[in-house]
Amino acid sequence: MIQSRQVQLLFVLLLALLLGTGFMHGKSLEKDLDLVEERNEIFMETYKKLDPAGMSELYTADAKLLPPNSESVVGSDNLVSYWQAIMDTGISEIKLHTGDVERYGKALVEVSIAELHGEDGELVDKSKYIVIWKQERGTWKMYLDMFNSNMPVE
Amino acid sequence: MIQSRQVQLLFVLLLALLLGTGFMHGKSLEKDLDLVEERNEIFMETYKKLDPAGMSELYTADAKLLPPNSESVVGSDNLVSYWQAIMDTGISEIKLHTGDVERYGKALVEVSIAELHGEDGELVDKSKYIVIWKQERGTWKMYLDMFNSNMPVE
């Protein structure tokens, strides 16, 4: 026998799905911004500790880092080497200024600014970047990470 | 009176929603790849005609172009100027090699390679790029467009 309750339950499920996925593409939500800002804090702390292995753990297992003047960097070992190399150039701190965060399905798309500081704290480079965040076992990680400089070629 | 047909209809709607949105995040679909390849053909043709206004029309009204060694480029007039400036440097052709295309909600995320050719057809630069495509009045357009060189700094 068909229960009125079953129909109600289905309507609630439909509504939850619509609210949960269908209407949330490309919307900016305070909680998504908070979430990315939190992750960016961890990025900054990890970099400041000059911990390249910690940096690689901020990426999904299938992540792709697309840095300027380099092929794409894929895989945990290559990510460690990449961040070690950046640290070796004397960049002591990377300050992230979280800009726009938009949700598309299960991904968050971030467009922000990064400031790179040298050993004496001087500003070495100002970059813009796109990060696509995805959840991996409950933790938001970088799936695509691309940046380039805002400064003219010297 | 609650009809069994109503319940069936709700189940079909639920299934359609799940297939349509919930399960399609980050999946690579042949039709999405075809769609981006089609748009990339138009990009290449428009560039080859050295038509900067045509290039600007490939972007959404709220698009952001994030080129290396430059601030972000926003707005139709600035996009025209940007592409005019690239054409003025003597780049005669941009060959796009469509790589990965993944769907996230209502957006398509493309990670591909671009080869820039000079006036005599010589390869001037090889770049990787991320484009986030969104539909604007039924047409897929670039919403975010970021690239940087694969080649070492000279």
Nearest Cα residue in chain B from A18:
B17
Average of per-residue pLDDT across B98-124? 97
Q: How many Å apart are CA B127 and CA A67, to the nearest integer?
A: 10
Out of A105, A109, A144, closest to residue B25 by CB: A105
Contact A109 B105 (CB under 8 A): no
- Which tens digit of pLDDT belongs to each residue from B44-81? 999 999 999 999 999 999 999 999 999 999 999 999 99
- Which tens digit of pLDDT belongs to each residue from A131-142? 999 999 999 999
- Which residues lie below 8 Å from residue A152, measured CB to CB, with a gap of 6+? B69, B70
Average of per-residue pLDDT across B84-101? 98
Q: How many Å apart are CA B122 and CA B116, to the nearest integer?
A: 8
Size of interface A-B (CB pairs under 8 A): 130
Q: Return the pLDDT at A11.
A: 77
At A2, the pLDDT band (50, 70, 90 cuts) reads low
Q: How many Å apart are CA A133 and CA B34, to the nearest integer?
A: 25
**DSSP secondary structure of A66-107:** E-TTS--EESHHHHHHHHHHHHHTT--EEEEEEEEEEEETTE
User: Does residue B14 have a pLDDT over 90?
Assistant: no
Q: At A84, list the tokens.
A: 């070690």
Average of per-residue pLDDT across A6-33? 71
The CATH number of A25-149 is which of 3.30.465.10, 3.40.50.2300, 3.40.50.12280, 3.10.450.50? 3.10.450.50
User: Does residue B22 have a pLDDT over 50?
Assistant: no
User: Does residue A26 have a pLDDT over 60?
Assistant: no
Top pLDDT among B93 and A6 is at: B93
Share of chain A above pLDDT 70, in %: 90
- Which tens digit of pLDDT belongs to each residue from A54-77? 999 999 999 999 999 999 999 999
Give ipTM to 2 decimals: 0.83
> How distant, in Å, are the alpha carbons of B17, B18, B23, B103, B104 from that of B14?
5, 6, 12, 20, 19
B118 CB near a chain A CB, below 8 Å?
no
Helix (H) or strand (E) run with residue B110 in it: strand B107-117
- Which tens digit of pLDDT belongs to each residue from A35-60? 999 999 999 999 999 999 999 999 99
Q: How many Å apart are CA A6 and CA B30, to the nearest integer?
A: 38
Dihedral of the CA atoms A14, A18, A21, A25 (nearest 10)? Answer: 170
Top pLDDT among B19 and A148 is at: A148
Chain A residues with CB-CB distance to B2 below 8 A = 2-4, 7
Nearest Cα residue in chain A from B10:
A10
> What pTM did the predictor assign?
0.84
Chain B residues with CB-CB distance to A3 below 8 A = 2
Domain boundaries of chain A, sorted by first residue: 25-149
Q: How many Å apart are CA B56 and CA B43, to the nearest integer?
A: 10
B128 CB near a chain A CB, below 8 Å?
yes
Q: Return the pLDDT at B4.
A: 77
Picking from B3, B126, B132 by the largest number of A CB atoms within 10 A of its own CB, the best residue to mutate is B132
Q: Return the pLDDT at A14.
A: 74
Chain A residues with CB-CB distance to B111 below 8 A = 64, 66, 144
Task: Find out whether A39 and A58 touch, Cβ atoms under 8 Å.
Answer: yes
Nearest Cα residue in chain A from B15:
A14
Q: Return the pLDDT at B26.
A: 54
Top pLDDT among A5 and B28 is at: A5
Q: How many Å apart are CA B140 and CA B65, to the nearest integer?
A: 16
Top pLDDT among B14 and B95 is at: B95
Nearest Cα residue in chain A from B100:
A64
Chain A residues with CB-CB distance to B101 below 8 A = none
- Which tens digit of pLDDT belongs to each residue from A86-118? 999 999 999 999 999 999 999 999 999 999 999
Q: Which of B69, B48, B43 is nearest to B58 (CA)?
A: B43
Contact A26 B105 (CB under 8 A): yes
B147 CB near a chain A CB, below 8 Å?
yes
A9 CB near a chain B CB, below 8 Å?
no
Chain B residues with CB-CB distance to A74 below 8 A = none
Nearest Cα residue in chain A from B152:
A69
Top pLDDT among B127 and A23 is at: B127
Domain B26-149 has CATH 3.40.50.12170: no
